Amino acid sequence: MSRVDFYHLQSQTLDMVLPKLLEKAYETKKSIQVRIGTEERVEFLNALLWTYNDQSFLPHGSKKDGNAELQPIWLTSGTDNPNMASMLFLVDEACATSEELKNFERIFYVFDGNSPDALTKARTFWKTLKSGGDDCFYWKQDDAGKWTQAA
């Protein structure tokens, strides 16, 4: 059984939110995989994480960078787990099977609540996980941008 946290984006974009979520996850000193919907977005987010804040540093890489097993944060559009990540971020409508999720202790499903398609996929994924016995938690942002757990 896995813990899955759903992060519902409404007022901010993934580009604004993902670096902050990754900073918090990185503080745990556990390895992280960010599974992204397309290879083009992998490289966009890879570049973004180098430049999003000149006061912060998130060590990460993608297939283009190599040395996957040495990367604390691995960005991919595939299902491989070369850095033996224990945390999985699913973004840009990337998906994972229930069987794959068993390989991670914590999963973060970040979705665009302004996209009807993404919203439908998130609801379907939630129902599938809940029926399989996974612990699911739903987070939304308040007006100040702080994440609060919804009941």
Q: Are 14 and 141 in contact (CB under 8 A)?
A: no
Q: Are 13 and 141 in contact (CB under 8 A)?
A: no
This prediction has a pTM of: 0.94
Top CATH class of 3-150 equals alpha beta
pLDDT at 66: 87
pLDDT beneath 70: ranges in the chain = 1, 151
**Residue 46, CB half-sphere, CA atoms under 13 Å: how many?**
21
Residue 103 is given by DSSP the state: T
Taking the domains of the chain in order of start, what are their residue ranges? Answer: 3-150
Q: Identify the bridge partners of residue 107 per DSSP, sorted by sequence position.
A: 4, 88
Output the CA–CA distances (angstroms, integers) from residue 25 to 44, 58, 64, 109, 128, in the order listed.
20, 11, 23, 13, 25
pLDDT at 1: 67
pLDDT at 146: 86
